[in-house]
Structure 1
Amino acid sequence: MEWLDWFNDSIAYVEEQLTNEIVLEEAARRAKCSTYHYQRMFSYIAGVTLGEYIRRRKMSLAGVDLQQGQKVIEVAAKYGYESPTAFNRVFKTVHGITPQEAKKDGAKLTSYPMLTFAITVKGVHAVEYQLIEKEAFYVTGLGLALGKDMEENQQKIPEFWNEVAAAGRVQELLPIMDGNSPGVLGINLMTKEVQEKWEYVIGVASKEVPIGFKQYKIPAAKWAVFSGEGPMPYSIQDLAKQVFTEWLPTSGFEYAELPDMEVYLDNNPTDAKFQIWLPVRLKRA
């Protein structure tokens, strides 16, 4: 599959740059997708974030350098750490010992090899989906400004949900929800085709805009819609991983680089009903 070759090319670039600056845009360009989609796909396929993978690889190589007699301060600088203290902290997180301890004879280190993406046999569980053509529509809600680091965003978004829910803001939106588009939406506005500044929105489909809320326009798209239920957040995370690693690569479609959505049809955390709305287009030649 071509996309595997593209992702392996991006990993080769990351490996080449472990002692230099790793430009996220270049890694994503080699994988032929946006920086947002690249980081998300990487996490689903590899099981760790791109940032964590890079840290593990740097510390694996740093351990070899230290055991070969290089000085801690030199190795820290080699892998981009201006502060030996920061280097020590990350090194110990990966190896369980300090850099100085790693230099001793018999020290045990952990090595994380370079990733290689390959086809694996999957598909034991069927994936049911619907294709829905939907015109542009409006969402009223609250937005969270985000940076381009998906690892940080994965921490901020759950906190944002907790804050909005605790303040009762979701309940304020329910009376204005469009009855033809039910559900509380979690929308990723993280594609340059829509806006340069990344934002995550919690809201409902509505043309009304009460005081204290903002309105967002979601572009017309062809959506692949996947439904699920179960305890949160694990059930929706498992479904998303299946969608991106099993369904999407073999579906004949590709991610359309438009906003994608999670739709929560009830608020029962132990047995939630939800949908994933993924914008798709036919795979380009």
Structure 2
Amino acid sequence: MQYRICKKSTIRIVGVKIPLVEEHEVNMLLILRFWQQTIGTGQIQQISKMAELEPYGVLGISAYFDPQHIYYYIAAATNRPVPPGMEEFRIPEATWCMVTADPCCHVTSDDMFRYLHLEVLPSSGLFYAELPDIEVYPIEGRGMETPIQEAWFAVRPSDEEKPQKVS
């Protein structure tokens, strides 16, 4: 895996969301069903057509605000209007660690998260910024059934205060 660090302004996403819980295994099942539902209803095509900004692709976004407010979005970064049945969410300006994997290797977002915490952060002097995590899937793919292209994790220097949680 490789990574790069880049500062980005606010990311506006539009898509659909579900609530999650604090149990990782339960969330993995909820998220898989959510992808299947979004594909089955045709909303994925609608989301794919909106993808026009970086991070470019169909996005899976995990947003943890507190134990009662955890969400997963399937969305696209866009400036387009919000279609009926979807909603807008803004991720604040941040410095991002963008992790990519060799397209020949099958890695998961969990693999990329481990790489961030076990290799990138200890060697870089950066800290996890506790903002939403962004999974980037190819437009023509089928969500989690398609190899992940990239994952974005907000990071901060040690001397910088934690960013305010989004709401």
TM-score (norm 1): 0.49
Contact 1:143 1:199 in 2 (8 A): yes
- Paired residues for 1:193-208 under 5 Å: 197-207=69-79, 208=81
Would you say 1:281 and 2:156 are equivalent positions?
Answer: yes
Would you say 1:253 and 2:126 are equivalent positions?
Answer: yes
In 2, the alpha carbon distance for the partners of 1:270 and 1:262 equals 13
Shift of 1:183: 0.5
Give the 3-state SS of the residue equivalent to 1:279 in structure 2: strand
Query: What corresponds to 1:226 in structure 2?
Result: 99
Would you say 1:159 and 2:33 are equivalent positions?
Answer: yes
Higher-strand-fraction structure: 2
In 1, the alpha carbon distance for the partners of 2:22 and 2:145 equals 32
Sequence identity percentage: 28
Contact 1:261 1:276 in 2 (8 A): yes
The one of 230, 241, 256 aligned to 2:114: 241
Contact 1:230 1:270 in 2 (8 A): no
Higher-helix-fraction structure: 1
Q: 1:180 to 1:278 in 2, by over 3 A?
A: closer
Would you say 1:265 and 2:148 are equivalent positions?
Answer: no
The one-letter code sitting in structure 1 at the alignment partner of 2:113 is A
Contact 2:135 2:148 in 1 (8 A): no
The one of 11, 21, 30 aligned to 1:147: 21
The one of 175, 184, 197 aligned to 2:58: 184
In 1, the alpha carbon distance for the partners of 2:87 and 2:40 equals 19
Give the 3-state SS of the residue equivalent to 1:272 in structure 2: coil
Shift of 1:165: 1.4
Shift of 1:271: 6.9
- Paired residues for 1:1-285 under 5 Å: 127-192=1-66, 197-207=69-79, 208-228=81-101, 229-230=103-104, 234-266=107-139, 267=141, 272=147, 274-284=149-159
Q: 1:139 to 1:179 in 2, by over 3 A?
A: closer
Query: What corresponds to 2:164 in structure 1?
Result: none
Q: 1:257 to 1:251 in 2, by over 3 A?
A: same
In 2, the alpha carbon distance for the partners of 1:147 and 1:279 equals 21
In 2, the alpha carbon distance for the partners of 1:270 and 1:191 equals 27
Shift of 1:134: 0.8
Contact 1:230 1:271 in 2 (8 A): no
Give the 3-state SS of the residue equivalent to 2:6 in structure 1: strand
In 2, the alpha carbon distance for the partners of 1:272 and 1:152 equals 21
Contact 2:108 2:148 in 1 (8 A): no
Task: Give the unaligned 5+ runs of structure 1.
Answer: 1-126
Q: 1:167 to 1:259 in 2, by over 3 A?
A: same
Give the 3-state SS of the residue equivalent to 2:65 in structure 1: coil
Query: What corresponds to 1:124 in structure 2?
Result: none
In 2, the alpha carbon distance for the partners of 1:270 and 1:143 equals 18
Report which of the two structures shows the higher radius of gyration computed on alpha carbons.
Answer: 1
Contact 2:20 2:27 in 1 (8 A): yes
The one-letter code sitting in structure 1 at the alignment partner of 2:61 is I
RMSD: 2.6
In 2, the alpha carbon distance for the partners of 1:237 and 1:231 equals 14
Give the 3-state SS of the residue equivalent to 1:170 in structure 2: helix
Aligned residues: 156
More contact order relative to length (CA 8 Å, sep ≥ 6): 2
In 2, the alpha carbon distance for the partners of 1:140 and 1:283 equals 32
